[in-house]
């Protein structure tokens, strides 16, 4: 925050309002358009009930759907939990890591 100069006020000077700084978009449009998927990988330590609870909380899935994904992870080694644009996919992976699940972000090929 900048302080207003009293002298400026007295003189009634005008100042030009600086245009807000715009951050440069570092990701190309093409990159943002590529669909990404959130993949959860099997882990022999995490409890099945815990993994189900995490899927319900993070993705808002009903219990049956969360259990289906949990079983897919357990039996096939991985399950695609979500796919879409990159930012929410990153956010989901971050949440899953917060719950200590093995999760990755993958480009849909």
Q: Smallest gap, in angstroms, from Cβ of residue 46 to another protein?
A: 7
Of 6-14, 15-23, 77-85, 100-108, which part binds another protein (CB under 8 A)?
A: 100-108
- In the complex with another protein, the residue whose CB is nearer, 11 or 24, is 24
Q: Which residues contact 105 (CB under 8 A, 6 or more apart)?
A: 36, 37, 38, 39, 86, 89, 90, 93
Q: Are 20 and 89 in contact (CB under 8 A)?
A: no
Map the footprint of another protein across residues 25-44, applying CB under 8 A. Answer: 44
- The secondary element (H helix, E strand) that includes residue 5 is none
Residue ranges in contact with another protein by CB under 8 A? 44-47, 49-50, 53, 90, 93-94, 97-100, 102-106
């Amino acid at each position: 925050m900048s302080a207003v100069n009293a002298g400026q006020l007295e003189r009634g000077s005008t100042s030009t309002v600086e245009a807000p700084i715009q951050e440069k978009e570092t990701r190309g449009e093409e990159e943002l358009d590529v669909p990404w998927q959130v993949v959860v990988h099997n882990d022999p330590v995490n409890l099945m009930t815990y993994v189900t609870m995490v899927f319900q909380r993070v993705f808002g899935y009903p219990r049956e759907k969360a259990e289906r994904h949990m079983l897919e992870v357990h039996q096939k080694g991985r399950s695609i939990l979500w796919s879409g644009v990159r930012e929410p996919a990153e956010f989901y992976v971050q949440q899953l890591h917060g719950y200590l699940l093995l999760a990755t972000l993958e480009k849909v090929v």
